[in-house]
Amino acid sequence: MNEAASANRLDLILYPSGAPLPSGIEAHVVGGASATVKLDAGVLSAYVSVPDRTRAEIRWIVDQLVRKIAALAEFGSATLRAAKTGASETGPPVDDDTLVTLGLDLHHRTCGDIKLVERSDLQARVDRVGLLEDCFRTWVNEDPGRRTSVAIARDVSQWAAGYPDVTVEVMADRTLASHGLRLLLAVGRGSTVSPPRLVIARYRPGGSDRAPLMLLGKGITFDTGGINIKPYEAFVSMMKNDMGGAALAFALFRGMVEAQIETPLVLVIPTCENSVDSNSMRPGDLIKSYRGSTVRVDHTDAEGRLVLADGLAYASDMYRPERILCFATLTTSALNAYGPYATPVHFADPELQKSLRNASERTGEDLHFFPERIWHYEANRDREADLRNTAHLPGDATRAAGSRNAAHFLRHFTDLPLCHFDIFGSAWNWAGDAPGAGYGATGAPLRTLLAALGT
């Protein structure tokens, strides 16, 4: 941000739909919203009539306006408030959830220099969740030569040192081999920069022995595709984002611990780099998993489900969690089938689905729910091995089923309640216009998860 930009401040005032706006330069805004803008002494006053739409759409519409304002006169700080309108106004008042989620978007655009006027209660939530989203986004955006498996293990351990109820174990090559986590070892054996690690952090408030909630995150620090190397068209230049699941799981774990929740937690991050080397796993390799089933490597670019499978099975046996939430940039199909803003959510039970749906409506992050289905489960079977890492439904039915098939691969590795989030499309700003996000990571769907879990 240059000095001229930082000298300006955006004052964003939200009006109910249909309310008359103060005079100013009219700004064209999509989606039925209207806006006027004034610039006076370094203050950009933007008056916006909030349309009667979903909160996800409101986020996008308001962000389009903010982008247009920034193109005319950049700003380095912002204030946000709901206008005080008379009782005669017909539109519904701007609610607190809208203020919070727009405040979070401005938090990222202004690098934290955002104030919610006369709302210290909402300000505290924006500050807290904003810092957690910053952590998530920073990990994903960092150079993959720095954000390695070793760095992930180090940073989790260093953070945990400040919390007496949190312990961390880092399993490296020999320990992984002795426990039989051969899928994780196979994926990472071509990299010396980011070798295989299984990072496990336990939060036991007051030494609780209750069954924990398990947060599992895919930590492929860079994905070349392996010997089946990714073409440029498959986003290989952006594959530092393939550890987005690990970043999301850690940020969520951190937020819940810092909130001192009473529920025990276990964070599980299988992490490594999927590199190209003479030691790399090969198409056709038959590998015995931790759980005992053999997996044929049909394609080396379907590596995420392999590391998750071993981490999932091992931690399920060791900690017997009451529920498992799994996060992974698992399939390009999630982007192709559901678009750049949506997160496919697999296997959520009715109670969890209700909590997630309500939270996503409040935060403006789209989730799409899919149940367990036997044909996707069986699609992972193989002739040579028990399973293969590229599931196929019969004939043309394989199209657009990648996210569901991959999720059902994981179902083979635990009998415990599992909910899987395929964040490939939503966690990265593919379209370039994700609200509040610049190039790179978006922070989605962390704010929804925090809201759904009561933190």
The pLDDT > 70 percentage for the chain reads: 96
**Which has the minimum average pLDDT: 37-46, 367-376, 438-447?**
37-46
Compute the distance between CA of residue 433 and CA of residue 334 in angstroms, rounded to an integer.
18
Question: What ranges do the domains of the chain cover?
Answer: 3-118, 134-452
- Can 204 be counted among the known catalytic residues? no
Q: In this model, does residue 406 exceed pLDDT 50?
A: yes
In one-letter notation, the amino acid at residue 447 is R
Average pLDDT, the chain: 94
**Which has the minimum average pLDDT: 35-44, 57-66, 218-227, 294-303?**
35-44
- Can 230 be counted among the known catalytic residues? yes
Distance of CA 165 to the CA centre of its chain: 25
Tell me the pLDDT band of 87, cut-offs 50, 70 and 90. low
- Secondary structure letter of residue 73 according to DSSP: S
Tell me the pLDDT band of 88, cut-offs 50, 70 and 90. low
State mean pLDDT over 121-149: 98
Catalytic residue among 119, 182, 202, 230: 230
Separation in Å, CA 297 to CA 196, 290, 300, 403:
18, 15, 6, 18
Catalytic residue among 147, 182, 218, 305: 305
Tell me the pLDDT band of 432, cut-offs 50, 70 and 90. very high
Specify the pTM.
0.96
* Predicted pLDDT at 5: 46
CATH 3.10.129.10, applies to 134-452: no
Compute the distance between CA of residue 140 and CA of residue 51 in angstroms, rounded to an integer.
33
Separation in Å, CA 246 to CA 252, 254, 289, 450:
10, 12, 21, 16
